[in-house]
Structure 1
């Protein structure tokens, strides 16, 4: 029954019978019957089951982001007794960022291989490894190599985003995925701000000598999140790993263009989240308490404003929002450079928080562009005579695979930003050279966005084409 336009009594009864089997089709909370595009199924059963899985997925992903970001807080506790300079601290947060980005690809495929509920439980319990281990070694005198290993283990939290998004994507119909994925992503991103806020509370109440108290908060939360996933989430037996779509996505130029742009948005968000407090300490001599009192504000605003980027993209086009957003990020970077030269902490903080805000808007607009780009390609194929249903199905398959690749590559921006700061402070004892590099990068991103997605050559009968798709598209 394509589109479920006319559901017969017999099919409705079959659906009701199938609905009754949702919870117990197989052991381990597997669901064998799942038709979110069927309005009757969705209203009777699908919506409540999907929403339940969404909220508990957000919980686990939120804790995962917090664990991924732990070292952005721990480095604030590392005073002279640890014997680690600024370059060494930036390397620690860079390491956590790199591993989290690399794990996003296997985590994406793990959902279909093991089941969304099952993998959510496993991915939550894996977070006990970096937290419990850190509790034993987080003190002066520990060899630096051990701290690097702890940062590697913290990368487990970075993979949770990809598996969570892949899982929730399967539960919702096409018309409702935008909000669901936005809530899922935003709730996870908030984990960065929350762990930094809790770090502030620990420093304010007990000083900068007891970082393990942060772990006393998160270890129980990890256990609770795993138990909640076991009790309230489900596996979908209909999920399959589409390796063919993944191969096609890798071959698409558009995938790599958007990966580059996502480095500029999400990569900036996660990179600055890890670096902000350390930059304040190193460049402006802030104490751990003074740095922690500010660092959570940027990630908090960047997370909360992310849906605005998607909302604006819906109305004026994701490419237009992304273009102006990169220009705004360039302006905020310029403010940071000027503030550094003037030694103005207030102006520097305002510019840095501006970077978080605009990176959050850009996260929403670039994520919205991805499916729109592949839909535009399919519409072009339909105009050329392709079968409409097959073309649109191909667009959904490739865009879904591309999102996983783009999210992984984009997260590498966190590594690049922290390595840039590390080299900048090591060579010039200032973050200014790194900011000049970021400014150049944002301008390049703006040029690429305009040239590929917005430019219509004067006098051209048809727009420039990339991979056979119109370069000018309201994406």
Structure 2
């Protein structure tokens, strides 16, 4: 009998990882639902570049703020309950999109679509509780592949809208969210060793906010995940406007960018398990700087430009995987959800500003170059900062 328990635990862990990843995919699809339709909405509603940027950025900022709250609630109520809750809550604004027919209505609904972006923080403590520390870098990278929901949105949303209409597309996504909620309600389980945080729900977030680890990783994630979100949200528009691609072609290429970055996350987590997350974080930041500077000054979509964008996607994915490998290994279980919430919020905030900057610079300069140069500059500043912080072996010795 004792020999059967580990097998049972492994089966339960694999199932938990699978359904959490699926839930993240569907919630991220809902979160980025408007992005592939952005150029078409701009034409229909006669939006300026700044108005469109704001519409696409609103779900990002709401998702960022939501990560703090949902991370705290996950410490208190567990991933089973919170995945079911967030999937049901996100289904409501997705259904509401079927009634939107002007900019104000789309903007209000976009606020609540942001809930889908908060789903990520639920899975980090939920999955970490199922696996030992030495495996968390890889399995959290696998879970983070749920970011492919953004790529799925870029690929599937415009095609579904063309073939079945926009309203039917929204109803399909809402139905998938409700199905995932039911899966967690009836079959989801928290890890056998999981314990809810004691005391007030606010205590874990207070404790997490006092940790140096939280703010060190937030600085990195603000750049790496922020850039990932910004490209995921705005790249369809950038490719269409800068290089004259069709909406479907631009959305498909953007989906490829997001998909590659997503696939790279478990590789970044695995590499962190093997050579150390500190090295992975610093190496990826060093690579982001020249790549961002290079694509900033490419007026045509030549093969080398495409290669640079795809390399940037892969490097960003590796960096994001390494950040949460560090969270999974270093944060205490009782505050892991809250640490994840703050770090995730920093990444979301990092993704909120770039679309606005991209829209503003294009409206003023008819070019996105300055915004991409600012990404390179931000990566450089964070590299200098984190290089000094990671020298503290009392905190970062095990990663």
Both proteins in one fold, TM over 0.5: yes
Q: Does 1:171 align with 2:108?
A: no
**3-state SS, counterpart of residue 103 of structure 1:** helix
Distance in 2 separating the partners of 1:40 and 1:249: 37
The equivalent of 2:355 in structure 1 is 418
369, 394, 406: which is aligned to 2:326? 369
- Deviation of the 1:306 alpha carbon: 0.9
Distance in 2 separating the partners of 1:401 and 1:122: 17
225, 233, 236: which is aligned to 2:180? 225
399, 405, 428: which is aligned to 2:365? 428
Distance in 2 separating the partners of 1:259 and 1:211: 36
Moved over 6 A (4+): none
Distance in 1 separating the partners of 2:305 and 2:191: 48
Q: Which has the higher helix share?
A: 2
The equivalent of 2:387 in structure 1 is 450
The equivalent of 2:119 in structure 1 is 160
Distance in 1 separating the partners of 2:93 and 2:203: 34
Is the contact made by 1:53 and 1:232 (CA closer than 8 Å) also made in structure 2?
Answer: no
- Deviation of the 1:180 alpha carbon: 3.2
The equivalent of 2:378 in structure 1 is 441
Residues 112 and 317 of structure 1: CA distance in aligned 2, closer, same or farther (over 3 Å): closer
Distance in 1 separating the partners of 2:312 and 2:51: 24
Any idea what the Cα deviations from partners look like across 1:140-168, whole Å, max 9, x if unmatched?
xx1x2222112111101011111232323
Residues 349 and 130 of structure 1: CA distance in aligned 2, closer, same or farther (over 3 Å): farther
Distance in 1 separating the partners of 2:354 and 2:108: 20
Residues 472 and 123 of structure 1: CA distance in aligned 2, closer, same or farther (over 3 Å): closer
When the two structures are aligned, how many residues end up with a matched partner?
Answer: 395
317, 321, 324: which is aligned to 2:280? 321
Q: Does 1:350 align with 2:313?
A: no
- Deviation of the 1:401 alpha carbon: 4.1
The equivalent of 1:270 in structure 2 is 229
Greater shift after overlay, 174-183 or 161-170? 174-183
Q: Does 1:82 align with 2:77?
A: no
The equivalent of 2:196 in structure 1 is 240
Distance in 2 separating the partners of 1:276 and 1:397: 38
The equivalent of 1:54 in structure 2 is 17
- 1:20-419 correspondence to structure 2 within 5 Å: 42-43=5-6, 45-137=8-100, 139=101, 142=102, 144-186=103-145, 188-202=146-160, 205=163, 210-235=165-190, 238-241=194-197, 244=203, 246-340=205-299, 343-344=300-301, 346-370=303-327, 374=330, 397=334, 401-419=338-356
Is the contact made by 2:218 and 2:347 (CA closer than 8 Å) also made in structure 1?
Answer: yes
When normalised by structure 2's length, the TM-score is 0.89
The equivalent of 1:383 in structure 2 is none
When normalised by structure 1's length, the TM-score is 0.76
Greater shift after overlay, 117-126 or 432-441? 117-126
For the aligned residue pairs, the C-alpha RMSD in angstroms reads 2.6
Distance in 2 separating the partners of 1:244 and 1:79: 44
Is the contact made by 2:148 and 2:258 (CA closer than 8 Å) also made in structure 1?
Answer: yes
Any idea what the Cα deviations from partners look like across 1:281-311, whole Å, max 9, x if unmatched?
2223332123123111000000011111122
Residues 400 and 100 of structure 1: CA distance in aligned 2, closer, same or farther (over 3 Å): closer
The equivalent of 1:26 in structure 2 is none
**3-state SS, counterpart of residue 171 of structure 1:** coil
Is the contact made by 1:335 and 1:347 (CA closer than 8 Å) also made in structure 2?
Answer: no
Unaligned 5+ segments in structure 2 are none
Distance in 2 separating the partners of 1:251 and 1:120: 27
Any idea what the Cα deviations from partners look like across 1:313-352, whole Å, max 9, x if unmatched?
2232222222221121112112212203xx3455444333
Unaligned 5+ segments in structure 1 are 1-15, 17-38, 375-393, 455-464
